[in-house]
Amino acid sequence: MSELWYPVTSAVFGVALYFPLRKFMFALNTNRAVRKKGGALTDVEMEALRKKNNILAAIIAVTFAFVYNKIVMIKFFGTIGGR
């Protein structure tokens, strides 16, 4: 049961974390870029920031979800996959 539970719940958790994390990171990086530039960003610059943030948010969310789920599984089940 835990062999199926771990990847499924980790993927669902990663997707759930991705969307708010993406918005949060985009807001932080946009504000930083505006301060650094000293004015408003162009549409091209905003799109470049958005693409970069989407990739980073996905990596962070999925990594955190799998690590967190592994800790939870070990706490409640004692082992992963009966090993």
Q: Is residue 57 part of a domain?
A: yes
Q: Is residue 82 part of a domain?
A: no
Q: How many domains does the chain have?
A: 1
Q: Is residue 83 part of a domain?
A: no
Q: Is residue 64 part of a domain?
A: yes
For the stretch 31-65, pLDDT in tens is 999 999 999 999 999 999 999 999 999 999 999 99
> Model's pTM, two decimal places?
0.79
Q: Is residue 6 part of a domain?
A: yes
Percent of the residues in the chain that have a pLDDT greater than 70, as a whole number: 92
3-state DSSP helix/strand/coil percent for the chain, to nearest 5?
Answer: 85, 0, 15
Over residues 26-35, the mean pLDDT reads 95
Q: Is residue 26 part of a domain?
A: yes
Q: Is residue 62 part of a domain?
A: yes
Q: Work out the number of other CB atoms within 10 angstroms of the CB of residue 14.
A: 21
| Confidence at 80, pLDDT banded by 50, 70, 90 | low
Q: Is residue 73 part of a domain?
A: yes
Boundaries of domain holding 56: 2-77
